[in-house]
Structure 1
Amino acid sequence: MYETHCDLWSWDAGIGFDNGLLKYIIRNFHLYIFHRCGAVVIIHHVEVIFLPVVFGGKCSGETGPDGIIDCFYSSTYGYQWGTCTLHEYIRTMTMGRFVCSDKSLNYCYRSCMNEGYSIWVSPVYEDCSCSSSNYTEQALAANCYIPSGTDCSWYKECLQRKFSCNGTSMNNALTFARTLCNLYSEKIGNNGKQWINEVRKCLQFSILPTLRPWWSLSCTEVENALIDSYSLCYIQPHKTLLDVSICQLVASDFFQVFWTIRSTLDKSYNSTNIFIDTMFNTLKNCRESFYQNVTFGEDLRKFDLTISYTKAALDRRRRSVLDDETTISLEIVENLATKLKWQEKGVLWFSQLNFNSINITQSVDLDAVVDELRNSVQQDSLHGKTDDISFKVVSVKGCLDSKCETLSFKIIASQTESSEFCLTNVDRFNTKWDQTKVGTVIEMACTGNYTGTVSRLCGTGGQWKEPDNSQCTSVAIQNLQKQASMLQNSDNTASIVNDILNELNNLTSESYDLRSGDMATSTAILKDISEHVAKNTAAVSDNQLEIFGSLCNSLLDDKNSNNWNELKLKGPSSITGLVKSVTLYTKSYTNVIEQEYNVVENKNIVIEVGKFQAEDLTVPVKSKISESWIADSQTEITLDKKKL
């Protein structure tokens, strides 16, 4: 049973409209600076088919030789062409499905129908049929029919000699194939070298059938056969060596191969792009690989760009080129790279299929490169024009992980025609906001020991709006939330609840300058605790109410009023959630206390918990409360005992 995966690049996700004159399109794609539709389960039913050993023919079961062509006869289908083929080659390439009928022999015939169409029992197709009088000489040297994988001259001496394709793109594909074949470096580890050796052998074996004399193939068909063999070979180059795979490569080996292959870009553009794109997408879809846990920073950066572009009506030939998303991506990214002078700065880059590189002889300040990219979008100056496309970067995200879920920044460029800018500003949490065009929204990584991002809008008149810190949460408070969310799976939860409340009370005390994200997360923690104790009263202890009240008092302090107002703009859920948590928790606490009445009094909140007596109930009980805002209040509620 095997699983196959595919990946949808963000470049494929877009929206657009056509106004009759120009097509306006917004696309997303990933940009790397050097820096799964779902799984489909396929069950393979394996059957072993025996290939004929023809005694008296030209093919010796002991000595071959490889590549001898013969027109042989079978009572099942009559005459057809067959090739004297090494038994081990047949077994390897068909994963054991086809074997010689006499397994002790080194050679047997592989029929044209079997090799070309993977068919065993069928009427013979015209291109495979022959008669007893037909005979074909070997047009190529014997070694052409048993490639070693290590002899890189095979492409020139065999494949290129068979097909005269000078001046066509097939020559470019051959240049790429030879570069890959010659790929060997002392810098690559043993696992990487084994993978390379198996890949280059697999590539030669995969296109070997094109040398058979009965095939009349065009240069384009041979080129396609070369390209089609790429993904098949580097995913699993040897059908029985399952641990030899691109998924097993370490990062240093992968990128050594990656950039070496890139060196063929100028001479074999199409083949190189296709190979590298599939190579990178395959790596992303591996169940386990270094890429799954890669972090972007230091020498490797990743961005997610959203580009809007327009293109005018074109003639059919030119339109067919521009409608290729690969070509569009290349033109845009190359234009951006030129505008930002990445090549002069010694930066290696690629985007989906499109990338570029130069030899670096000096250190590269990628932080400066990133800052320039970010600032250009902030100032709405990152736009350009090629021969047929006008484009603009409308957003950019700096990714810190392979799935771009954790960000270092996000910028949504202004859609206004204003020429005003907000000046550089540093807020109270020490986040620096660079000069930005009016109408632009910026997200930055939260400063300090915090997770998440803070966003800010450059408003009308060049005035910064207040930063939105609702996604910024202290790492310590976030860890407490993880503990609270797992209470139902824990033993001795009373002790755990006490620890969480005590620690959260300390973290939200007056000595800490909280952000709105802390408020929202703390409220979520209290919700988890109150819901847990409602179902598990054993998690409640006598002294918890005082800690609970102190914690709520800290959250409701005047110094946090701006945080609550910030959350209020997003809806009333946070403050309402806090009130609901207090109500639910105190109800649970009432069920376990021994005394009839208990008061927890704080500056910002007073909690009264008591058991009902056979008399009218009046709240608050002012005689037991010292806070003047309650004791001096004329407001009270009396509940008739009969109603209760």
Structure 2
Amino acid sequence: MQSKLNMDDLFQLIFVSLLIGSAQGACDRSDGPSGSTACVLLTPYYNKYQWATCLTDTYIKVFSEGNHMCRDSLTKYCWYQVMAIGYVKIWMKFLETRPVYDNCTCGPDAPKKVTTQRPVVTSAIPDWCFSPSGSDCSWYKECLEARYPCKEQGDSYALDYAGKFCNLYQDHYQEFNTIGQEWIDAVRKCLQVKLVPILRPFVVATCESIKQTAFDSHSGCYLHPDSGKPSICDIGVGNWARIFWTVKGALIQDATETLKQMLDVVSACGTDILSLGMENIQMIFRREKEMVLRNLNKFAENIADQMASKMKWNTRGISFFGYPTLITPNRNKRAADINTNTFYINILIAAKSVFDLNAVDSPRANLSAEAISVATSIENGDVRLDIAQGIEFKELSLCIDYNCTDTSLQVEPAPPKKNGVSASNVKPFTIVLTIIAAMAASVLALHLKMLRHCLLS
């Protein structure tokens, strides 16, 4: 086992890893610039050269959630070591066995197989990209997309989701109350700050890893966007509901996982998501054992889109969001086999005129009546869902709460159609006529048989 770090080194790493470097790099205490990278000797606190980036004290505090800051409280810019940016969690995990200090060394102290030259970035980006204020939504295009042009690959988190997410906040800023505006400001900044590390010259990220990094930061930014700033738990149901449905209505790419994450975060706050008149519809499906369902999010989106189309929600002023969920039925629900072949899809619906700030002129909608109409249409066979072979639609419930632990109504879908005709749609009169016709045919056949017997004899 390698020797442990001494307490002084550990103290410096965790609490004061932001140091003013020697004059070997471009990091003026007043002018920066942000993002400049250099191999510096941070004396007298460290005795080896290491890579560091020039950043603002404000950015460092937000990024580290208040754990790091410039040593000189009067300075605006200071060096922030790569070690502190990318390796603090790793260092803490392997504290007793594998310090990572040498991985960040450079110049004369670099290991033989480590380059002593700063990596070259093919797409240069402005200095301000490294200390975003959060108030400028062009950061996603001018900085993130410029550094990683994922739009060319048809998978741009920056342009397809994050930029639109940011601009929606900005476009409707005045429509939120004071605490809602304060939260929006803090979250927009937090979401950008958390992505800054991948802009560093010594980092190479993929479009998929960028999306994952962003996704991983959302919950934390919603709950704790910055020191002293309100949490999503503090802003009230009205604020977050308008944020959620306005963003949902404007997205141009699927973001089921991200939007579901926001709902889960809000639910964990103890917030009654349905308290403002939204409705939650849950459907139980069962797949055959050999049936492979690779993407449950896509399945949920497809089911919700079908329901919306058949119920004409888009033209009737109803917003909807379909997502998969894991839930165990309680005593108020009909029993269902709980195994890997049973899964649940929820559809949350809301009135556009109430929550979607881009659709305030939409028709008013009665959500309670709509939910009952959905259940009735499914039970009577007026609405039928196109479901992949090997999957069976078992039950639909109207939920009283977001987690659907209690329900107000459960129905079973109408039997499948046979030869284009549903068994549930065959009228009693038609059945009677069919029986009479069958009896008449039998009597006629008997008479013909008797007549033939007489003729032969």
Q: In the aligned structure 2, how far is the partner of 1:125 from the partner of 1:204?
A: 29
**Which runs of structure 2 are paired with 1:98-247 in the superposition (5 Å)?**
98-118=68-88, 122-124=99-101, 128-131=104-107, 134=117, 139-182=124-167, 183-184=169-170, 185=172, 186-238=174-226, 240-241=227-228, 244-247=230-233
Deviation at 1:142?
A: 1.9
Q: Paired residue for 2:303?
A: 332
Deviation at 1:194?
A: 1.0
Q: In the aligned structure 2, how far is the partner of 1:193 from the partner of 1:286?
A: 19
* Partner SS for 1:100: coil
1:148-189 CA-partner distances (Å, limit 9, x unpaired):
111111111111111222333542443311122221323211
**Which runs of structure 2 are paired with 1:242-321 in the superposition (5 Å)?**
244-265=230-251, 267-269=252-254, 272-287=255-270, 289-291=271-273, 294-295=274-275, 299-309=277-287
Q: In the aligned structure 2, how far is the partner of 1:311 from the partner of 1:295?
A: 38
Gap regions ≥5 residues in structure 1: 1-45, 314-318, 424-644
Q: In the aligned structure 1, how far is the partner of 2:409 from the partner of 2:162?
A: 40
Q: 17, 23, 28: which is aligned to 1:60? A: 28
Contact 1:61-1:105 at 8 Å conserved across structures: yes
* Partner SS for 1:307: strand
Amino acid at match of 2:397: K
Change (3 A) 1:218 1:407: closer
Q: In the aligned structure 1, how far is the partner of 2:349 from the partner of 2:79?
A: 47
* Residue correspondences, number: 359
Q: In the aligned structure 2, how far is the partner of 1:226 from the partner of 1:63?
A: 29
* Partner SS for 2:243: helix
Q: 57, 60, 69: which is aligned to 1:87? A: 57
Deviation at 1:100?
A: 3.0
1:342-363 CA-partner distances (Å, limit 9, x unpaired):
3343322112367799746323
Contact 1:155-1:178 at 8 Å conserved across structures: yes
Deviation at 1:373?
A: 1.8
Deviation at 1:215?
A: 0.9
Q: Report % sequence identity.
A: 25
Q: Post-superposition, which runs of at least 4 consecutive aligned residues in structure 1 deviate over 6 A? A: 353-358, 414-418, 420-423
Change (3 A) 1:307 1:225: same
Deviation at 1:106?
A: 2.9
TM-score between the two structures when normalised by the length of structure 1: 0.50
Tell me the C-alpha RMSD between the 2 structures: 3.5
Deviation at 1:237?
A: 0.8
Q: In the aligned structure 1, how far is the partner of 2:405 from the partner of 2:206?
A: 46
* Partner SS for 1:83: strand
1:448-467 CA-partner distances (Å, limit 9, x unpaired):
xxxxxxxxxxxxxxxxxxxx
Q: Paired residue for 1:372?
A: 373
1:258-304 CA-partner distances (Å, limit 9, x unpaired):
12211343x232xx3232111111000114x353xx447xx422223
Amino acid at match of 2:370: V
**Which runs of structure 2 are paired with 1:488-637 in the superposition (5 Å)?**
none
* Partner SS for 1:150: coil
Contact 1:384-1:390 at 8 Å conserved across structures: no
1:349-381 CA-partner distances (Å, limit 9, x unpaired):
112367799746323344553333222343356
Q: In the aligned structure 2, how far is the partner of 1:370 from the partner of 1:107?
A: 56
Amino acid at match of 2:311: L
Amino acid at match of 2:319: L
Change (3 A) 1:164 1:77: farther
Q: Paired residue for 1:408?
A: 408
Q: In the aligned structure 1, how far is the partner of 2:248 from the partner of 2:178?
A: 22
1:34-68 CA-partner distances (Å, limit 9, x unpaired):
xxxxxxxxxxxx95234332232332334433222
Contact 1:227-1:275 at 8 Å conserved across structures: yes
1:414-449 CA-partner distances (Å, limit 9, x unpaired):
7899946999xxxxxxxxxxxxxxxxxxxxxxxxxx
Asked which structure has the greater CA Rg, the reply is 1
Amino acid at match of 1:280: L
Change (3 A) 1:419 1:191: same
Compare the two structures and name the one with the higher helix fraction.
2
1:450-501 CA-partner distances (Å, limit 9, x unpaired):
xxxxxxxxxxxxxxxxxxxxxxxxxxxxxxxxxxxxxxxxxxxxxxxxxxxx
Q: In the aligned structure 2, how far is the partner of 1:381 from the partner of 1:312?
A: 30
Q: In the aligned structure 1, how far is the partner of 2:82 from the partner of 2:241?
A: 40
Deviation at 1:203?
A: 0.9
Give yes or no for the alignment of 1:78 onto 2:48. yes
Give yes or no for the alignment of 1:49 onto 2:16. yes
Which has the higher mean CA deviation after the structures are superposed, 376-385 or 175-184? 376-385
* Partner SS for 2:175: coil
1:50-104 CA-partner distances (Å, limit 9, x unpaired):
4332232332334433222110135857332100122232233223322334444
Compare the two structures and name the one with the higher strand fraction.
1
Gap regions ≥5 residues in structure 2: 1-12, 109-115, 325-346, 353-358, 428-457
